[in-house]
Amino acid sequence: MILRDYREAPHTSSDVAGGQDVGALTIDGIARACRFRRMRWPLPRLMRHVLGESAGICLALGLVAACERAAPPAARKDTTVAVVPPPDTAVVAPPPASTWDSTAGPAFFIAGPAPTDAMIIVPRYTDAPALDSAQFDLTSLRAMQLDLFANGKRVGQARVGATAASTRSDSCRTWPTARLTVAPADTAATKDWNVAFESGHAAELVLDSIAAMTGADSAKLAADIARLASALPGDTSAVFRGLPFVVNKAWRVRAPNGQQWLTAIVVRNVNQEANPRQERILLIAERDSTTTAGRYTTQYSERVVGLEETIEATDLVAMLLLGAERRPTLVVARDAGDGYSYALIERIGRQWQRRWASVYAGC
């Protein structure tokens, strides 16, 4: 900072009259002109000289205070406020809504190794979650009265006795089980039952199995099934083309309204020792006419292809009328080699569709 000496010096009248600069001030490198009127002091020369010295200093200090720019405010320091995240909250997604029809009962039962043993299929758990995360409440099932069915025909009754929760060993999980009490009069009839529902929640359908038909009827039905299978869309595996369709299992049923339904499992095999492959088809067909002259048309189908040893095998468990609406229902078991899952394929309106599927139980 440079301050010029403001001590009085001789000036001409032209200096005062012309308003010439008395001095200049440079502060922080910025030049400013400071103009002020000269004053004549009515004092003796010596005192004027002394006072002039002091006045010059004071005046200079005053000019510094008057002309100096106000110092800019100190820059505000940015402060970073740490944002503390909220504590982790465990969010458990609710299980997907089950498509199970509650009028079909709280559960259904699949026959075990002995007629008095049963697996309890809890419909709350669909094919979305894993079985090892399921929690079963079996209290409401104890002492329940059951109707036992064999392929769709009601063969007797039983009562649920003791129940056991599902078990887990290593990575395997089983369905809960129940011990059934069968009336002595029904013991012989119920030895071949395969599915059971709470009494009053299912009704039987009289089925004709292809295995029980005469040779001529069986051959004619097999030909109809092969025709239906060969016309199905999605036959993309060239290795199976031209191979014969083998009917693994088939049923024919007459509905209460007189309409005829047909359901079948059809297989094609590639018999290569190093790479045996198999194609399995599940189909459901209807006959438009109630007469034998009508032809079946396919209404529903599923196709799986894979190695013969590892392919998921679909089996027909039963066909019956289920729920308050007595909908035609096909109970299907799917065997993946080391466990089972189950599905219900129902006729809703005029369409057959998979209404519900269970979680997989096994390893």
In this predicted model, what pLDDT tens digit does every residue of 266-314 receive, in sequence order? 999 998 878 899 999 999 999 876 555 678 999 999 999 989 888 888 8
CA dihedral 157, 153, 105, 329 (to 10 degrees): 170
**pLDDT higher than 80, residue 67:** no
Q: Which of 210, 228, 205 is nearest to 329 (CA)?
A: 205
Q: What is the 3-state secondary structure of the chain?
A: CEECCCCCCCCCHHHHHHCCCCEEEEECCEEEEECCCCCCCCCCHHHHHHHHHHHHHHHHHHHHHHHCCCCCCCCCCCCCCCCCCCCCCCCCCCCCCCCCCHHHCCCEEEECCCCCEEEEECCCCECCCCHHHCCCCCHHHCCCEEEEEEECEEEEEEEEEEEECCCEECCEECCCEEEEEECHHHCCHHHHCCEEEECCCEEECCEEEHHHCCHHHHHHHHHHHHHHHHCCCCCCCHHHCCCCCEEEEEEEEECCCCCEEEEEEEEEEECCCCCCEEEEEEEEEEECCCCCCCCEEEEEEEEEEEECCCCCEEEEEEEEEECCCCEEEEEEEEECCCEEEEEEEEEECCEEEEEEEECCEEC
pLDDT band at 51 (very low <50, low <70, confident <90, very high): very low
Q: Looking at residues 138-153, what average pLDDT do you find?
A: 90
Q: What pLDDT shows up at residue 230?
A: 93
List pLDDT tens digits, range 199-252: 999 999 888 899 889 989 999 999 999 999 999 988 878 889 889 999 999 999
Residue 132 confidence (pLDDT) above 70 = no
Picking from 55-69, 88-102, 139-153, 181-195, which range would have the lowest pLDDT averaged per residue? 55-69
